[in-house]
Structure 1
Amino acid sequence: MSLRDHLFADPFKVHSKDENEQEEEEDITKANIVNQQPPATKMELWGYYLYYNGNNGFTIFSFMPNILQYLATLSGTNPETGGSCDIQNALLPCNVNWMNNTSIPVSTMMLYVQSIAFSVQFLLFTTFGSLADYGRWNRYILLTATIIACTTQIIPIVLVNDDGSHWGIMMAIFIIALISYGTTLVFYGAAFPTLSDNLPVVRKARSSNQLSFKEIENVIEKWRNHVSAISTTWSNIGFLILTAVLAGPGFIAWNPQSMLGDAPIYNFICTVVAGGFWILNAIPYFVFQPRGRQGLPLPPGESHLTIGWKSIIQALREAKKLRYLFMYIFSYFMFSDAVSTIGTMMTIITGEVTNFSALQSTLFGLITAVTSILGCLLFLFLSKTFGISTKTNLLIIVALTSIIPLWGCLGISLNNFGFKTTWELWAQAAWSGLFTAPIWAWQQTMLAELTPKGKENLFFGLFGIVNKASSWIGPVVVGAISQSTSNVWMGWPFVLALFVVATIIVLFIDVDAAKQELADYENSINSTTVATRSITSINEKMEP
């Protein structure tokens, strides 16, 4: 099979039916009625890909943090001299007033901001996460979060001429942007299993009388890997398009001494462009999603405000029946926190090493975008060519990503190595693209493999809750470490330890046993449902 066939196989190319397949086609139709899900269309799938093309996260992890860090530094004071901070040498100490007028380093403030945003996300997802299992709430929540996220990316332009005195306003904007962005990721991810499972090629396999259970599972896993990897690739393509478009103007002469890319205004311009780019890419998904793509009706007597908490309790009660799923969720708790903290720490370190140069950040992003696309396609190709399992791919990716905190640990005692120089930032940008970007595709596929049918939003919501519950822990711990030591590099050993624990847990997950566990669970749920319906039917007939 050619490289093109491996990476760009068509899930809508189903063999023409003959008389022997007529019965299978009828089964597909019946399954559609039972599942209340229409088949996926090409426009829906491409809309899904394009959404992630726009929602590539570049602004959230580069320009917006740069703006906040820059404005806070303008407003800050050097604790050693008592004077203003040196904006031309961001590696020097710089403190800002925090709660109760406590003076803390700007880097610590940045970490605490991340923690606040993730804590709010935790509360929101706990309350509303599983609501997306019902009706069209997934669509409504994703649409609302997208509008808020795009708006908050554009708004910072009003602070373009600020002297730093309103850095608190930028902090509030950034927190809202982080919350809405995180919400879009969770509900976008929750839509993925339903979409991939209703591709024509998958629906045909599910209805086939000629395929064994194992063969059907292989087809499902193959196309879940495909959709997840290609959607992540499109996210990185959007990342590449943005960085390529924005890098060019960065070299325009801004004044005799510098280029536009080194001027503070460049960060503000880039956030506007990125917000508009996301809006344009998001529209097709909401336009072309079939109206029948929805969950079950909200159960009678349930409240929108309480069903989330009830669903979480329900999910936790299933821990004994789905022990491998919960082992994986716990491991994800670890490496998600580690990856999120790496992103935050590298943003802070890059700002300090480059003196908040947006052009440098854009060029680093350009390298990451290119290598991210290569990394996603590489692991997808290896998976399809050599039959490498989702678990093995995930282990390889997590292990290689852990090199980053190991590298950062060297910066604790060295002054010229351990992310202390520009060339190391170039190397980290490439490494992160190749081996960190694919982690989001394979962690999502792994979860989809272990999640019960019809409960995707519940467990993806729980996944999102675990993500946000963990994601504030890393920044808080590293923030506390950097506050007490005035050295953000001291946080790298903690991040490395998270990777080690997560890897050990994933190693002990038996995927085959997990799938059998899942099948037994689904059968028990279906049996209970049938029994309940039978009892209800009998009672109705006995009523006068």
Structure 2
Amino acid sequence: MSTGILPVVENVDEKHDDSHLESAEIKADDVILGDDLTSKVPHSAGLAVIEQRRAIPLAGKRQVATKWEYWTFVLFFLNSNASPIGGPGGNIRQATLTLSHPDGFMNWAGARQPVNTVLLDISGILTAVTVVVMFVLGPYADYGNWRPWIMIGAEVITWGCEFGMMSIKDVSQWQTANVLWALGGIALTIVGAFYQATYPSMVRDLPKMIQSEEDVLHGLKSPEEHEKLDAYERAKIFNWCNIWGSFGSVVVFGIGIAVSKAVGFADTSALLHAYRVLMAYYTPIAILVTVPYFICMKWRPAQQVPSGYSMWTVGPRQVIYAGKSIVQLKQCLLYLCAYVFLFEAIGAFLSIYFILQLETIHYNPVISTAFNLVGDLCGGAGCAVILYLHRRYDWKVKWIMFVSAIFSLFPCLWGALGSFTHKIGFHNVWEFWFMQVWNLVTSACSSYNVTMISEVAPATKLFMFYSLFNTISKSTGFAGPFITAAIIKQSHGNNNYAFWFLVGLGIIAIVLLYFVDTDKAKIDCAVCECGRAGYRISLRV
């Protein structure tokens, strides 16, 4: 008997047709490691990682990842941290709206509303539009070879909005500022979602990962060793992204502080001028860090369009597939629920937090930029530490995510306590400095939540599932700003009461996250993908 582990694949139906999802006779027990039938499912996560990528035919050959592609991907991440549409662009949007209504109220939706309520309502509307766009684009991206064009096109739109922001010279242009901010925000969200969905396949196409797969299939290493390497390499690149994004931002924001001081911001006109200058400074940087990846990235093949279907009809079928398979992928569904509650809490927290921050520092661009600098410095340091600990102690991705989620909930509780006192609760400038330093222990959440999606989602459906996660979390984000805005309105403008709602969401997320089993998720994905392709798998010695 051979000592190698070789895949024996039986074709149940030669056609690649998603209808096999319900009818294929594949079960978790069909995945077998060697002759030890007692070790069927619980110990086969490593083989499941390999097999789910091989089950569905691709529209081209596997593309080996290069060092240039890897490191330009990391370079690209600075666009997420230093994107001017979300930095000075967001400040221009809020400053023009707030300063054009000095009494703090404005006519909105047929009533006299607090400006902060309107800001949150606009965020909710933006989220609703983003949901629709992601729902349309996401399902198509797992087929053919065209998906890089989505990210490139969205990035170009972002650049256009950033250049457009430079034309805002007076607070009376608040409508234009909000439209540009919203359009740029939608485009940036698309770029972020597709950027995240790109990296798992790139990592798994690294030469070391391809060799590891071959070693497993020839019995030279255990599936568990491959699974640990796969999880670590996926976590490593996004930690490198966060480390580079943070320390790169320190340099970028440090220069931004000098620019702000040199320009000055003594009055409203000077303030807007300072932000326009910052937009002119940050936008070329965004272009410089994104273009190299667009040049170096490999256009990896997605799935073949199933026989009998056109490219235009596979999108809706992807949505149907997601609805059917999510029941089979119970661990993915569980993490999806945890993800929704956690990032609804974090996202809504940040919306309120940044409103309070800008009001507390009176829109001072120097202090605002300094906050970003300190937060990114601490975030990068935190990611470097957690990457070392992950490698040193071989921690599972799930538990790193769980602990960082608990730390991420603390700022919501801090804000909620401000309902009863002005000593804490984001009423003082020092608290905003403290929260930048707190990024040391929350930064892992921003990198490991991305890795967690690739832990529980099928390898051949990552673009759809990353879009699904973003879409569903954004759909709750559509309700969240309206709920927090309503709470603020009912409390007569007391922003801190809204934090209690976010604390409750965060607690639900942490409880759900505790019960996610990533090993079982990988088995579920392999079973689902092979069943969909019409195959029975038996990995025998």
Moved more, 210-219 or 328-337: 210-219
Q: Is the 8 A contact 1:32 1:38 kept in 2?
A: no
Aligned-partner SS, 2:167: helix
Counting only pairs closer than 5 Å after superposition, residues 1-80 of structure 1 correspond to structure 2 as: 36-78=61-103
Counting only pairs closer than 5 Å after superposition, residues 405-416 of structure 1 correspond to structure 2 as: 405-416=412-423
- Residue-by-residue CA offset, 1:382-438 (whole Å, 9 max, x unaligned): 11111111011001111001110111012112123211001111001121x223332
- Displacement of 1:303 in angstroms is 5.8
Name the residue aligned to 1:541.
none
Aligned equivalent of 2:481, options 458, 461, 475: 475
Aligned equivalent of 2:132, options 117, 123, 127: 123
Using the alignment, how far apart are the partners of 1:254 and 1:290 within structure 2?
Answer: 44
Aligned equivalent of 1:495, options 472, 488, 502: 502
Q: Is the 8 A contact 1:150 1:279 kept in 2?
A: yes
Distance 1:523 1:73, change over 3 A: closer
Q: Is the 8 A contact 1:51 1:281 kept in 2?
A: yes
Aligned partner letter, 2:482: V
Aligned partner letter, 1:281: V
Counting only pairs closer than 5 Å after superposition, residues 88-237 of structure 1 correspond to structure 2 as: 94-100=104-110, 102-160=111-169, 162=170, 164-208=171-215, 209=218, 210-237=220-247
Q: How many positions carry a matched residue from both structures?
A: 480
Counting only pairs closer than 5 Å after superposition, residues 44-443 of structure 1 correspond to structure 2 as: 44-78=69-103, 94-100=104-110, 102-160=111-169, 162=170, 164-208=171-215, 209=218, 210-252=220-262, 254=264, 258=266, 263-291=271-299, 293-299=300-306, 302=309, 307-431=314-438, 433-443=439-449
Name the residue aligned to 2:39.
none
Aligned-partner SS, 2:298: coil
Using the alignment, how far apart are the partners of 1:473 and 1:309 within structure 2?
Answer: 25
- Displacement of 1:302 in angstroms is 4.5
Aligned-partner SS, 1:318: helix
Aligned partner letter, 1:351: L
Using the alignment, how far apart are the partners of 1:73 and 1:524 within structure 2?
Answer: 55
- Residue-by-residue CA offset, 1:353-391 (whole Å, 9 max, x unaligned): 011111111000010110010111111111111111101
User: TM-score, normalization: structure 1?
Assistant: 0.83
Name the residue aligned to 1:21.
none
Aligned partner letter, 2:285: F
Q: Find out whether 1:460 has 2:460 as its counterpart.
A: no
Using the alignment, how far apart are the partners of 2:260 and 2:253 within structure 1?
Answer: 10
Using the alignment, how far apart are the partners of 2:449 and 2:315 within structure 1?
Answer: 23
Q: Give the unaligned 5+ runs of structure 2.
A: 1-49
- Displacement of 1:268 in angstroms is 1.8
Aligned-partner SS, 1:418: coil
Aligned partner letter, 2:488: S
Q: Is the 8 A contact 2:83 2:283 kept in 1?
A: no
Q: Is the 8 A contact 2:162 2:279 kept in 1?
A: yes
Aligned partner letter, 2:480: G
Q: Is the 8 A contact 2:260 2:278 kept in 1?
A: no
Using the alignment, how far apart are the partners of 1:57 and 1:471 within structure 2?
Answer: 23
Using the alignment, how far apart are the partners of 1:254 and 1:445 within structure 2?
Answer: 42
- Residue-by-residue CA offset, 1:153-188 (whole Å, 9 max, x unaligned): 22111112x1x2221111111110111111111100
Aligned sequence identity (%): 24
- Residue-by-residue CA offset, 1:304-354 (whole Å, 9 max, x unaligned): 665333312211211232100110011101111111112211110011101
Using the alignment, how far apart are the partners of 1:508 and 1:174 within structure 2?
Answer: 38
Counting only pairs closer than 5 Å after superposition, residues 510-529 of structure 1 correspond to structure 2 as: 510-528=517-535
Using the alignment, how far apart are the partners of 2:149 and 2:254 within structure 1?
Answer: 32
Using the alignment, how far apart are the partners of 2:131 and 2:55 within structure 1?
Answer: 34
Aligned partner letter, 2:126: A
Using the alignment, how far apart are the partners of 1:467 and 1:33 within structure 2?
Answer: 28
Using the alignment, how far apart are the partners of 2:305 and 2:284 within structure 1?
Answer: 35
- Displacement of 1:443 in angstroms is 0.9
Q: Is the 8 A contact 1:61 1:343 kept in 2?
A: no
Higher relative contact order (CA 8 A, sep 6+): 2
Distance 1:508 1:251, change over 3 A: same
Using the alignment, how far apart are the partners of 1:39 and 1:259 within structure 2?
Answer: 55
- Residue-by-residue CA offset, 1:125-159 (whole Å, 9 max, x unaligned): 11110211122332000001101112212211111
Distance 1:528 1:253, change over 3 A: closer
Counting only pairs closer than 5 Å after superposition, residues 521-540 of structure 1 correspond to structure 2 as: 521-528=528-535
Q: Give the unaligned 5+ runs of structure 1.
A: 1-26, 79-93, 531-544
Using the alignment, how far apart are the partners of 1:136 and 1:476 within structure 2?
Answer: 39
Moved more, 413-422 or 467-476: 467-476
Name the residue aligned to 2:19.
none
Q: Is the 8 A contact 2:57 2:304 kept in 1?
A: no
Distance 1:213 1:522, change over 3 A: farther
Using the alignment, how far apart are the partners of 2:332 and 2:290 within structure 1?
Answer: 31
Distance 1:134 1:519, change over 3 A: closer
Name the residue aligned to 1:88.
none
Q: Is the 8 A contact 2:402 2:510 kept in 1?
A: yes
